[in-house]
Structure 1
Amino acid sequence: MQTVHLRRAKDLMDARYADALDLDAMAAEAGFSRYHFARAFRHAFGETPGAYLSRRRVERAKDLLANANLTVTEICMVVGFTSLGSFSRRFAELVGCSPTEYRKRMVDRGGPPAIPGCFLMAWARPTAIADKQGDGTRA
């Protein structure tokens, strides 16, 4: 039964990987204390919540490095890391090369043309879609 609650927290991390999620927020989503959540998550999924979240961020960064015309620093911030050094170190741990080297490898393979960064940033920005009451205009 615990797994259902842990999956809720995991789904939160998958959906909001770029947000500043802390252990308290993830534990609250599961309905656990932070310490019980950390132990239960590791037992259920084989890694700590922090390791899982950073791995998800690196997975998204790989996609952006291969397909978007953004700098490594911009990608670092877009995926939720707050430090270029910690991003580069974690990326190298998981992927086996630096973000810059990874991008070079993807370009050398002849991947798809890069999506302009300005388009990507505008497309990824949340927008209000509900009609305003009374005047008929859209937000």
Structure 2
Amino acid sequence: MPFREMHNARQSTPSSASVDDGALQDPALLRRLLRAKDRMDAASHEAWPVRRLAEVSGVSEAHFAHSFKRAFGVPPHRYLLTRRIERATALLRDTELSITDIAFATGWESLGTFGRTFRDITGRSPGAMRVEARNATAQPGPVPACVLKAAQRPDLTIAVLEKRRRVAKGTFRPSIEEEVS
């Protein structure tokens, strides 16, 4: 087949984006992805490498990682970080556990990594977050707790390393939450 005919044949096939969109419409695949997401939610303190999540979902690792990101808007690792930070924030607010105990209870292997990642994501250290959260709950307002929790959810639309790189270059645009505080 001459080059022009091959080129034209390629252009007439559906793009990979439209094929991927169709794959996400598959209810069986969405159920499998939700099964993996539910497992991460139930045990966010455990290690969840893509290989393990793919096994739970019954799909290949590459297919799982790509499909998860398309379905939920974030890669699996970033989703897990969000759950861990949310859980840590709740424990800081609602318990007397030490910050070290909270770090290990939420799945971090190092207190330093927990503190650095927590600060990168929330903009505050775990200790400062504990003080702020307790002061905020001491003065309950008319806003329901579920709405407050949703507003306090970490903003992980960009990777932590990318956020650090942008801050260092001075090109980082803070999220709405960071501008308000």
Residue 67 of structure 2 is matched in structure 1 by: 40
- The residue number in structure 2 matching 1:90 is 117
Aligned residue pairs, count: 112
TM-score (ref. length: structure 1): 0.74
Unaligned stretches of 5+ in structure 1? 113-139
Greater relative contact order structure (CA < 8 Å, 6+ sep): 1
Is the counterpart of residue 55 in structure 1 residue 82 in structure 2?
yes
Does the CA-based 8 Å contact 1:6-1:30 persist in structure 2? yes
1:41, distance to aligned residue in structure 2 (A) = 0.7
Q: What residue in structure 2 maps to residue 11 of structure 1?
A: 38
For residue 78 of structure 1, what is the aligned residue in structure 2? 105
Deviates further, 23-32 or 89-98: 89-98
SS at match of 2:91: helix
Give the letter for the 1:10 counterpart.
K
Q: Deviations over 1:70-100 (max 9, x none)?
A: 1111101001111222212222233221111
User: What is the percentage of aligned positions where both structures have the same residue?
Assistant: 38
* Aligned residue in 2 for 1:26: 53
Segment drifting more, 99-108 vs 48-57: 99-108
The aligned amino acid for 1:56 is: R
SS at 2:59 equivalent: coil
In structure 2, the CA distance between the partners of 1:45 and 1:110, relative to structure 1 (3 Å rule), is: closer
Tell me which of 92, 104, 108 is aligned to 2:135: 108
The runs of 5 or more residues in structure 2 that have no matched partner are 1-25, 140-181
State the shift of 1:20 in Å. Answer: 2.1
Mapped partners of 1:35, 1:86: distance in 2: 27
Closer/same/farther in 2, CA of residues 105 and 4 from structure 1, 3 Å limit:
same
Distance in 2, Cα, partners of 1:37 & 1:110: 39
Query: What is the TM-score with the length of structure 2 in the denominator?
Result: 0.58
Match status 1:99 vs 2:126: yes
Separation in 1 of the partners of 2:108 and 2:138?
25
Report if the CA contact (8 A) 1:8-1:30 is conserved: yes
Task: Give the superposition deviation at 1:110.
Answer: 5.2
Question: Distance between the aligned counterparts of 1:20 and 1:39, measured in 2?
Answer: 19
